[in-house]
Amino acid sequence: MDMKETIRDQFTRHFGNEGQMYASAGRINLIGEHTDYNGGFVFPGAIDKVIMAEIKPNGTDKVRVYSVDINEYAEFGLEEADAPSQQWARYIFGVCREIIKRGGEVKGFDAVFAGNVPLGAGLSSSAALESCFAFAFNDMFNANKIDKFELALIGQSTEHNYCGVNCGIMDQFASVFGKAGNLMRLDCRSLEHEYYPFNPEGYRLVLLDSKVKHELVDSPYNKRRASCEHVASVIGVETLRDASMDDLEKVKDQISAEDYNRAKYVIEEKQRVLDVCDALQRGDYDTVGDRMYKTHEGMSKLYEVSCVELDYLNDIAKECGVTGSRIMGGGFGGCTINLVKDDLYDKFIETAKAKFAEKYGHEPQVYDVVISDGARKID
Ligand code: GLA
């Protein structure tokens, strides 16, 4: 049975009838990491891995939802005090609450969902889940009156207010706005965005999933964000988007060496996204690749969100002559994204699998990137 049939089958078993199906996607990001909450640029695209849900209003004020993948069931109300204990259910509860808080409508419903966005791989399975339900509630209870950006913001606020992650807007934006064959450049300060058809002739984008996730205590993601906000306030700007390296040098002795490095990475990364956009327009993939390697180095040495396994995958890519490679997403495990020439592809994958397995005891998982549509209704 494919995912859709499984969901349909489980919905009938649990609730005895049929609902409407929706899906939303995970994402990749070509370049522009940890820039979103600094008001900078990001360059993501939705992928062909999704969270899919079947949903039907049930005429009560209760939500009943079953997760196929972890085989768990949750039941909760729609008031603030009704927050469920299971983490996965809090994403759905959060989306309901954020819509209600904004004056929108959500009533009781039954739902079954499943997904093939790998968890902990940095492909934003949680944004896919939030966007799938936000899109569905807009369609089902709000006559599609909530605009698409607001749907992304609803997902982001869910992370902030119900899941403890002070994330930026990139993942939810990509999941809601994704369009097959296109990457999107988003200016996270003005929220202006542009679609970039992406079809690099002679190259492929491939992800290597290390399948390691370093669960760190004390929310390192939130700490990175706090460092950036602190440096911005010392410089006297709203976000690091408005700061230059000169500005940073001027406050160097007022901030810690660690905060200096965090801000340096962000200021440099902002420029790298713009360089990549220009290079893509010229078909200059060597420059695209060069900036990807530089991002990796910055994320590893200055922002310190890489890990030995991802650094190793990056080294292997370099040794094989891969055009561009870097850790992707929030960090602390997950995937590298690699821009590889067609004729190097087989050798690179073979070498990466063998070398990584020799050192870490398992092969990385390979995902060929297919840039796909974001949130949608399914027949
Ligand atoms: C996570 C967050 C995003 C973004 C990336 C890093 O995926 O959810 O908002 O900050 O990390 O670029």
> Given 171, 209, 247, 259, which residue is catalytic?
171
Percent share of the chain, pLDDT over 90: 97
Ligand 1 mean position to 261 CA, how many Å?
A: 18
The pLDDT value recorded for residue 164 is 92
How sure is the predictor about 1, in pLDDT bands with cuts at 50, 70 and 90?
Answer: confident
The pLDDT value recorded for residue 143 is 98
How sure is the predictor about 114, in pLDDT bands with cuts at 50, 70 and 90?
Answer: very high
Which pLDDT tens digit goes with each residue over 344-373? 999 999 999 999 999 999 999 999 999 999
Q: Is the CB of 247 under 6 A from ligand 1?
A: no
Which pLDDT tens digit goes with each residue over 268-316? 999 999 999 999 999 999 999 999 999 999 999 999 999 999 999 999 9
Task: Note whether 131 and 154 are within 8 A (CB).
Answer: no
- Indicate the top mutation candidate among 124, 153, 167 to test ligand 1's pocket, ranked by most ligand atoms within 8 A of CB: 167
Percent share of the chain, pLDDT over 70: 99
pTM: 0.97
171 is catalytic: yes
The pLDDT value recorded for residue 304 is 97
Ligand 1 mean position to 331 CA, how many Å?
A: 9
- Angstrom distance (rounded) from CA 274 to CA 269: 9
Q: Are strands 20-29 and 44-57 parallel, antiparallel or unpaired?
A: antiparallel
The pLDDT value recorded for residue 355 is 98
Ligand 1 mean position to 159 CA, how many Å?
A: 11
- Angstrom distance (rounded) from CA 256 to CA 234: 12
Task: Tell me the longest C-alpha to C-alpha distance in the chain.
Answer: 66
Ligand 1 mean position to 252 CA, how many Å?
A: 26
Q: Is the CB of 167 under 6 A from ligand 1?
A: yes
Report CA-CA distances (Å) from 145 to 12, 25, 95, 137, 358. 30, 21, 16, 10, 54
Ligand 1, residue 37: give the atom nearest the CA: 10
Which pLDDT tens digit goes with each residue over 186-239? 999 999 999 999 999 999 999 999 999 987 777 899 999 999 999 999 999 999
Which pLDDT tens digit goes with each residue over 156-168? 999 999 999 999 9
To the nearest 10°, the Cα dihedral for 183, 316, 211, 94? Answer: -30
The residue whose CA is least distant from atom 5 of ligand 1 is 330
The pLDDT value recorded for residue 134 is 98
How sure is the predictor about 323, in pLDDT bands with cuts at 50, 70 and 90?
Answer: very high
Q: Is the CB of 171 under 6 A from ligand 1?
A: yes
Report CA-CA distances (Å) from 117 to 121, 123, 181. 8, 7, 19
How sure is the predictor about 125, in pLDDT bands with cuts at 50, 70 and 90?
Answer: very high
pLDDT average, residue stretch 70-87: 97
pLDDT at 81 over 90: yes
- Which residues, at least 6 apart from 20, have a Cβ–Cβ distance to it below 8 Å? 54, 55, 56, 136, 139, 140, 377
pLDDT at 99 over 80: yes
Ligand 1 mean position to 327 CA, how many Å?
A: 12
- Angstrom distance (rounded) from CA 297 to CA 159: 28
Supply the mean pLDDT for the chain. 97
Q: Is the CB of 330 under 6 A from ligand 1?
A: yes
Q: Is the CB of 373 under 6 A from ligand 1?
A: no
The pLDDT value recorded for residue 218 is 77
